[in-house]
Structure 1
Amino acid sequence: MERDLSFEINGFEVHSSFLDNDSINEIIDEIESLDSEYPKHGIRNAEKKLSSVKKLINSDLLRDKAEIYLSGKAEVVRVIVFDKTPDKNWLVTWHQDKTISVSDNKNIAGWGPWTLKDGIHHVQPKLEVLEDMVTFRIHLDEASEANGCLKIIPKSHRSGILRKSDQDRIVNESEEYICTAMQGDLLVMRPNLLHSSSKGTEPSHRRIVHVEYSSFQLPKGLEWA
């Protein structure tokens, strides 16, 4: 199956009713059964903490879908479960997702800056790495303007990795797209597509399974982390 040309142009697309109710409820039930309150901005490495999420992200349903947008075999490289609620009602300013997590700090031309977060090496790679990645946002709840859904700038990924001044200019000159969604809908996007999220004016559960896949072959000595 080939991806729609509009995805290459706009940098995103939405698939309605992608995930069935049984799978959604299985994940929600496991989230709600967690012994401790999870951090404000979500459950990172969620596949290591939630067996239902691990099953989903490794399913043929998601992997086959991811490979439509990649150059080869899809590998899971980042998984986060977000939940924006009245108590966790955050604001995310306009930005690109332009760093990856890897196993070591290597001197690679065109890669950097490097940072160390929670013992994991993060780096901004060359654009070609981001262009062989795809982000899936699977909605476990309805997402609306009222509960702080995602906003994006269509086509902004085509400008590459942006400096802050260029990012601000594009945001000011462009019309944003409000990514409202129903439970079970899938938003697919390139990681360097400009996106943001306002605080909810009527906050409620807005649970998202955020999965990043890649088929990029990392330089020798590096692995995804």
Structure 2
Amino acid sequence: MFAIRQLIKNIPELTDLLFNKKLAHLISEFYESEYFLTKAIYFDKPSTSNWFVAYHQDLSISVDKKADVVNYKNWTYKKGQYGVHPPIKILQDTITARIHLDDTDKNNGALKVIPKSHLQGIVRTESNDWDIKTEHICEIKKGGAMLMKPLTLHASNRTTSNKRRRVIHLEFNKHKLSNPLNWSEYWNEQINIKDSI
């Protein structure tokens, strides 16, 4: 899979295109607060992709430095970026928006989710605390968007249709991190939900 991480830092011209009233209105249907961007990634799953991603939760956030802070654990450092598992409240209040640049279905790696699994908090994926029978495949048309919680169990299959799957993955939050940590991709223009309604 090809990816451009820190997308807005690398291509700031995308901000006006992405952060419009349509996106703010979409978020406003579920949340009544002001959110700011904390992560932006461009994913390109090629048409010849022959791997799958097993069920997991997104437990890590990107921060600007490593520090010994209570309730921040499981530190990583990849490609010049620090990652850490924050307090669960931060994960619970994260909104993920996935904007699809291609038609996406079960044959080219559409996301599979276990509905309401985010309500269980952090789940050990090797356990049997979730029911695969409730699995839902999120088939999205080109130009469409989906919202999800990072604690929702999700996965994707191998591509079998020779069609690529390009997605812009955006994460939003409303919390400041514990001092001295800061969001590494903080974009200081809030998604103003009230003004979009």
State the TM bucket, normalised to the shorter chain. Answer: 0.7 to 0.9
Partner of 2:59: 98
Cα distance in 2 for partners of 1:85, 1:102 equals 29
Cα distance in 2 for partners of 1:57, 1:46 equals 11
> Contact (CA 8 Å) 1:133, 1:216: kept in 2 or not?
no
Residues 1:204 and 1:192: Cα distance change in structure 2 (over 3 Å): same
1:213 aligns with 2:172: yes
Cα distance in 1 for partners of 2:126, 2:140 equals 31
SS of the residue aligned with 1:165? coil
Q: How many Å apart are 1:73 and its aligned residue? A: 2.0
Q: How many Å apart are 1:207 and its aligned residue? A: 1.2
Deviations 1:5-40 (A, max 9, x none): xxxxxxxxxxxxxxxxxxxxxxxxxxxxxxxxxxx3
Cα distance in 2 for partners of 1:221, 1:200 equals 42
Partner of 1:48: 9
- Which runs of structure 2 are paired with 1:27-176 in the superposition (5 Å)? 40-66=1-27, 68-70=29-31, 72-166=33-127, 168-172=128-132, 174-176=133-135
Cα distance in 1 for partners of 2:12, 2:77 equals 27
The count of residues paired between Structure 1 and Structure 2 equals 184
TM-score, normalised via structure 1 length: 0.74
Q: How many Å apart are 1:70 and its aligned residue? A: 4.7
**Residue 143 (structure 2) aligned to one of 184, 187, 203:** 184
> Contact (CA 8 Å) 2:45, 2:165: kept in 1 or not?
yes
Q: How many Å apart are 1:71 and its aligned residue? A: 6.0
Provide the identity percentage. 33
Question: Which structure 1 segments of 5+ residues have no match?
Answer: 1-39
Q: How many Å apart are 1:165 and its aligned residue? A: 3.2
Cα distance in 1 for partners of 2:38, 2:4 equals 15
Cα distance in 2 for partners of 1:71, 1:113 equals 31
Residues 1:188 and 1:140: Cα distance change in structure 2 (over 3 Å): same
1:203 aligns with 2:166: no
- How large is the RMSD of aligned CA atoms in angstroms? 2.0
Q: Which amino acid aligns with 1:208?
A: V
Cα distance in 1 for partners of 2:17, 2:51 equals 26
Q: How many Å apart are 1:42 and its aligned residue? A: 1.6
> Contact (CA 8 Å) 1:67, 1:74: kept in 2 or not?
no
Normalized per residue, the structure richer in helix is 1
TM-score, normalised via structure 2 length: 0.84
> Contact (CA 8 Å) 1:43, 1:80: kept in 2 or not?
yes
Greater relative contact order (Cα 8 A, min sep 6): structure 1 or 2?
2
Question: Which structure 2 segments of 5+ residues have no match?
Answer: 185-197
Q: How many Å apart are 1:211 and its aligned residue? A: 0.5
Q: Which amino acid aligns with 1:204?
A: K
Partner of 1:3: none
Q: How many Å apart are 1:82 and its aligned residue? A: 1.3
Normalized per residue, the structure richer in strand is 2
Residues 1:114 and 1:82: Cα distance change in structure 2 (over 3 Å): same
Q: Which amino acid aligns with 1:210?
A: H
